[in-house]
Amino acid sequence: MTDPFFGNFDLASLSIWLFWIFFALLIFYIQRENMREGYPLEDDDGRESANQGLFPVPEDKTFKLPHGRGEKTVPSGQTPERPNLPLEKTAAGNGFPFAPTGDPMVDGVGPASWAPRRDVPELDGHGHPKIVPMGNKEQFSVAAGRDPRGLPVQAGDGAVVGKITDMWIDEPEQMVRYLELELDGEYGEGKRLVPLTMARIGSDRVKVRSIFGKHFSGVPQHVSAHQVTLLEEDKICGYYAGGTLYASEARQEPQLG
C-alpha cells in the first residue's frame, strides 16, 4: 500500500507557518496604509529625506468623500505645507527647534501653529454642520453647572474685554465646544469664539488666562454666524494656545517649579 496524501506531512507545522506568513503580510499592508499621509518624509529644510524607512510609499488610492465633497487622492494629493513660514533654524542639524522671526501668534507658528485644513465645516452623519450655536437649538439647555451666558470675560492681565453671548455645541456629541464672546469696543468689537478648554467659568466671570486684553482683537474670526469651518477652528485654537507661551516675554523665560 502507498502512503496516503499528506500521510507523513506535519499539518500543524504548515498551519503555524501559514499564520506567520499571513501575519507578516498583514503588518506590511497596515504599515503601508499608514503612510498615506506625511510621506515621503522630508527634512527640516523641506527636502526629501534620505532615510525613508523600510517600507515603500503606497500607490495612490482615491477616496470618495461623503456628502458631495469630492474626492481625495493620497499620498500624492496631500495638503501642501504652509509656505514661507517666518521661522529660522537655531542649529545646523535637523531636529532642533525653529525660532519665530515675527509675531508668532499672528503668524501662527510654534505653539500658535495651525494646519491648512479644508475651509468647510465638520459634518455629522447626516451631512449637517456638527458645531452650531446653542441659541439656535431650542431642544438644548444647560443641565448642570453654571450657564456662562451674560457673564463678563476677564483676560489673563485682568482686563474685562466683553461678555459671553452664546455657547457653541457639538450637536451629535451633546457637549459644548466654544463660548461666543462679544467684545467691547476698545478691545476690537464683534464676536469671537473661545475654546471651552481655554476658559474657566466662575460664579461671576469667565477667565481666559492664555491671552491678554490687547490680544482679543487679533483672535481669528469665523465668517458665518451659524457654523465654523475646520480651518477656522484650527486658527482659533492655535491662537489661544499660542498665547500660553507668547502672550508676554515673561512666559518665555525659564520657570522654576
Q: How many domains does the chain have?
A: 1
Residue 161 has pLDDT above 90, yes or no: yes
Percent of the chain topping pLDDT 70? 96
In a domain, 146, yes or no: yes
Domain that holds residue 119: 110-248
| CATH classification at residue 118 | 3.90.50.10
Q: pLDDT tens digits for 19-43?
A: 999 999 999 999 999 999 989 988 8
For the stretch 179-203, pLDDT in tens is 999 999 999 889 999 999 999 999 9
Query: Do the domain assignments include residue 44?
Result: no
185 is a domain residue: yes
89 occurs within a structural domain: no
User: Which of 83, 81, 85 is closest to 101 using CA atoms?
Assistant: 85
Q: What pLDDT band is residue 252 in, cutting at 50, 70 and 90?
A: confident
To which H or E segment does residue 164 belong?
Answer: strand 160-170
pTM of this prediction? Answer: 0.86
Q: Of the candidates 248, 152, 241, which has an alpha carbon nearest to the alpha carbon of residue 201?
A: 152
User: Quick one: pLDDT at residue 137?
Assistant: 87
Greatest pairwise CA separation for the chain in angstroms:
102
Q: Does residue 217 contact residue 183 with C-beta atoms inside 8 Å?
A: yes
* The pLDDT of residue 58 is above 90: yes
Task: Give the distance from CA 243 to its chain's centroid.
Answer: 16
DSSP-assigned states of every residue in 10-25: -HHHHHHHHHHHHHHH
User: In this structure, is residue 13 part of a structural domain?
Assistant: no
Q: CA angle, corner 13, sides to 8 and 15, nearest 5?
A: 115
| Secondary structure (DSSP) of 43-104 | -TTSSBPS---SSPPPPPEEEEPSTT--EEEETTTPPPPPSS-SEEESSSSTTSPEEESS-H
pLDDT at position 44: 85
Confidence band for 235, pLDDT divided at 50, 70 and 90: very high
Residue 10 within any structural domain of the chain = no
Residue 216 in domain: yes
Residue 235 or 94, more confident: 235
